[in-house]
Structure 1
């Protein structure tokens, strides 16, 4: 499938990945939830694909993205976000016209973007991974109601990166999360263009 949500999830929760500076990550891990200096005033992007985030953060080597957190949130929160999501580019089959998309996007609480999924070495694959921007109107609900657990994946990420660099990619598979297709309500799937 060209666009498919693949994630680590159970009956009630789903794992998202985010990269932060040490000061934000340490405060969140100590509190068990996001607290200042986490920003509640700007959009935060969550991603169910660890490898996509590793591409984005260059395995935690980019400034301000040194720490990788696995953020376990409620499936009800995730699905609520997707049900309010607006794609970051117009799709005629969803929006009808560019003007209609622009109007919806400008007032959306949630932005949905599809980007090429990535291999262990960062190469673009021929299918897409989702990232979801939670806007200011929902960010408190995300941080204070949806989040049920935070795990520091930084040591695992560093170990994986070292194995990849040393040419031991085959050993990495057992360290990666068990991401599998996530079931969605058909109306929500159509809204965010799952499929293809």
Structure 2
């Protein structure tokens, strides 16, 4: 079960949580089968995967389920758990800028726009989701990788690629059947990633 689901006080509003080991971090993406199934089979992204386009990675399984509709949305039918090096994940955070301008965080809009163009990673904080995909008070990290970051992700950081679409469907079926305890027991364990920081907007 996700740690925060039994935490009455809840986690901090902005906290990086993920399934991780000492050397790796697991993130989630969803693709059409032609890309997703090939990536899971070969352990790397196929030639159709464009390294010159921005790709978004999500450490939260439930936020990925919200985004892809439990693998039911067109073009997102194959859900992947992508294990990458912790070092690479840290590099992405160190070279990140917030995806939107925040007064009080950035000196001015022009400075933010300049930094956004220079940095290969974008950070976005969206409401975390519960089993019913309802928004929670705390936020979930999304990382947009472009340019050098996207190339490093595909060619250097990748450790393993696993098709977790069956898991998504199984959990969804249990939720629809009202068996939330059984569904919760199947969720990947996501814990805070200590020692890593990402840009955060000012709390409002």
The TM-score normalised by the length of structure 2 is 0.89
C-alpha separation between the residues in 2 aligned to 1:140 and 1:99?
27
- 1:31 aligns to what? 42
Choose which of 72, 95, 101 in structure 2 pairs with 1:84. 95
2:20 is paired with a residue of what secondary structure?
coil
Contact 2:35–2:48 (Cα < 8 Å) also in 1: yes
- C-alpha change, 1:195 and 1:68, in structure 2 (3 Å) is farther
C-alpha separation between the residues in 1 aligned to 2:149 and 2:157?
10
* Structure 2: stretches of 5+ with no match in the other structure: 1-11
Taking the TM superposition and a 5 Å limit, the aligned residue runs for 1:6-155 are 6-155=17-166
- 1:172 aligns to what? 183
* Structure 1: stretches of 5+ with no match in the other structure: none
1:8 is paired with a residue of what secondary structure?
strand
- C-alpha change, 1:100 and 1:194, in structure 2 (3 Å) is closer
| 1:89 Cα deviation after fit | 1.4
Contact 1:2–1:195 (Cα < 8 Å) also in 2: no
Contact 2:105–2:201 (Cα < 8 Å) also in 1: no
- 2:200 aligns to what? 193
CA RMSD after TM alignment: 1.5
2:168 is paired with a residue of what secondary structure?
helix
Task: State how many pairs are aligned.
Answer: 192
C-alpha separation between the residues in 2 aligned to 1:93 and 1:70?
36
C-alpha separation between the residues in 1 aligned to 2:194 and 2:23?
13
1:177 is paired with a residue of what secondary structure?
coil
| 1:195 Cα deviation after fit | 9.0
